Amino acid sequence: MSETAIPVPEKAEEPREPSSPPVEYRLTIREDKMAVLLDHPDPAADVHAAVDRILASFVELELADAPDGPDLEDLLTEAATPGEPLLGFPIAQGREPIAPVDGHLEWAREFFTEGWAIDEESGAIDFWEKLERRSVHSGESLLTMVHPVEGVPGVNVLGQELTPPKPGKIKVRCGKGVEQSEREGHTDYRASVDGRVRWADGTIAVDDVYAIRGDVSLETGNIHHTGSVVIDGEVSAGALIEADGDIVVKGMVEAATIICGGALTVAGGILGSEDTHIAVTGELRAKYISEARVDGLGDITVANEIAHSMIRTRGKVEVEKGRIAGGETVALRGIEVAEAGASGSTHTLLVAGVDYTLREKLAQRHQRVDQLEGTLKKIVGVQDKVQQSRQAMTETLSAKLAELSEKEEIVAQAVAKEKEAILRITRTALADAVEEIVILAELWSGTTLQLGEYKHNVRSSVQRPRIAQIKKKKVHVLPLGDGNMPEE
């Protein structure tokens, strides 16, 4: 260590033991210039004299911010032990600079986690299910940029300023679908639309349309998106697509599961399986549907064929230039098809004017009514017991009866509301129902036509346009023409 010191000779003292050589009084500036160190043989022996020596040495060393006499005296009095030397004691210190804080990013959650989901029980890796979760909703917090904080300069014992380094800065550009707001020391970024968050080259954005330039495959993994999805290629077997908006597939859909909150358009066909299904809130359009399970709320329009599939919708099913062969097709607002059924033993069931969601809706309501009526029965039973009791009607019993009566009224009102809801749901389904099946070209034997609750088994094929309608509580298959036309 390089030192700057002023040796100060001491007056002759009594001889010390050989094991305790005398300590030379001196002040030393530490190598980093951040402290003045004191070596003193016994400052407690004469604190006033020690203070005078030290102050004089500060002047000779031209040190900045020398302590004043009283403070120095207090410092030595506290630090010194009578009869013992004081070695390397920091009699004065500089001020260290305060380090800066670099700007940094704080993500609201793990949007871009790499890897795949692992089944907790088997430990198997699901290569379809990536861990990343980049779908966000409008208003959701995405990212906070914490602004850099400048450091505070320090000073050494020579009075020289010590400048801290500059803090690291970070830049974030606000892209489409994102809004930013400022608060002290922070910039917050939130999604302004439903979509998929994207981070590239310092830009944060939310894409409301998720565009997949190729196929949905193991490379892309399953798709979970809060907006719309456009797929340039095909959807491979085993995939899962969940989107709150529309889905457009420019290729075909193999045996995959699709949950679509908007309209589903498939330029190619849909090939399903027992283990997959398609649920669509809006309209569905496809070239063909084969061996698939489809549940919809809107119209289903198919260009060529629906084959051996389970199709259910609250809209209308239209295959105006193709056929429905095999399986079951249920449409609340009617069916229109060029060819119904097929030659051979293939059985085809066409059902119009039936709401496939009604049974589940009513079952839930009826279950609720049963629960409420059970509660009501218990309340009435307790009331009867209290009233039939031979005990005198005390103030407590009267209060209990009043409480039970109030509960009885509340539960009875709830029962009435549930029954009203059952009637309303049923009436809505009936009002929307179109009990009609239009066959534009051929109707094959082995086909069953059902309108509402009434069925008709076709025993002879007909190669002319026909329409199935209810007349006198029976399904009649009539020539399509004047007087027998579809509902507008």
How many residues does this entry show for the chain? 488
Question: Which pLDDT value is given to residue 23?
Answer: 58
Under 8 Å between Cβ of 194 and 226: yes
Q: At what angle do helices 69-79 and 47-61 cross, to 10 degrees?
A: 120
**The tokens of 133 are what?**
């979760």
Under 8 Å between Cβ of 475 and 456: yes
What are the residues whose beta carbons fall under 8 Å from the beta carbon of 470, sequence distance 6 or more?
A: 435, 451, 452, 454, 476
**The tokens of 297 are what?**
């709320």
Q: How far apart are CA 417 and CA 435, in angstroms?
A: 29
Partnered with residue 39 across adjacent β-strands are 26
Under 8 Å between Cβ of 193 and 227: yes
Phi, psi of 202 (to 5 degrees): 75, 10
Mean pLDDT by runs of 10 across the 488 residues of the chain is 45 45 75 90 88 83 76 88 90 91 95 87 85 91 96 91 93 94 96 92 92 94 93 96 94 96 94 95 95 96 96 96 95 96 84 90 84 86 74 70 84 87 82 91 94 93 92 90 66
Question: Which pLDDT value is given to residue 484?
Answer: 67
Question: Which pLDDT value is given to residue 383?
Answer: 79
For 17-35, write each residue's pLDDT tens digit: 444 445 578 888 899 999 9
The CATH number assigned to the domain with range 104-154+162-205 reads: 2.40.50
Under 8 Å between Cβ of 167 and 102: yes
Question: Which pLDDT value is given to residue 102?
Answer: 95
Q: How far apart are CA 188 and CA 194, in angstroms?
A: 17
Under 8 Å between Cβ of 256 and 237: yes
Question: Which pLDDT value is given to residue 197?
Answer: 93
pTM for the full predicted model: 0.68
